[in-house]
Amino acid sequence: MRRSYPNILIAIMVIVLAVFVFGFQQTGKQGRRSAGTTSGEPTGLETATFAGGCFWCVESDFEKVAGVVEAVSGYTGGREQNAIYKKVSAGATRHLEAVQVRYDPGRISYAELLDIFWRHIDPTDDSGQFVDRGHQYKTAIFYHDDTQKQIAEQSRQALQASGRFSKPIVTAIRPLDGFYPAEDYHQDYYKKNPLRYKFYRYNSGRDQFLKAQWPVESKPMKSESKHTYTKPSQAELKDRLTPMQYKVTQHESTEPPFKNEFWDNRQAGIYVDIVSGEPLFSSTDKFDSGTGWPSFTKPLVAANIVERQDRSLFMVRTEVRSKHGDSHLGHVFADGPKPTGLRYCINSAALRFVPREDLVSEGYAQFSGLFAGHGK
- Tell me, yes or no, if 57 is annotated catalytic: no
Count CB neighbours of 55 within 10 A: 26
44-47: list long-range contacts, CB under 8 Å, 24+ apart.
44/104, 44/105, 44/106, 45/69, 45/102, 45/103, 45/104, 45/105, 46/102, 46/103, 46/104, 46/105, 46/110, 47/100, 47/101, 47/102, 47/103, 47/144
Paired residues of 325 in beta bridges:
none
Beta strands in 162-312 (DSSP E): 172-175, 179-181, 269-273, 279-282, 286-287, 295-296, 305-310
Helix (H) or strand (E) holding 199: helix 194-204
For residues 79 and 91, the answer to whether their CB atoms sit within 8 Å is: no
Catalytic residue among 98, 101, 248, 345: 345
Distance between CA atoms of 206 and 154, rounded to whole angstroms?
Answer: 25
- Of residues 102, 252, 89, 262, the one with CA closest to residue 182: 89
Catalytic residue among 48, 51, 54, 270: 54
Paired residues of 173 in beta bridges:
141
Distance between CA atoms of 221 and 118, rounded to whole angstroms?
Answer: 10
For residue 93, give the 3-state DSSP assignment.
coil
Q: Which residues are catalytic?
A: 54, 345
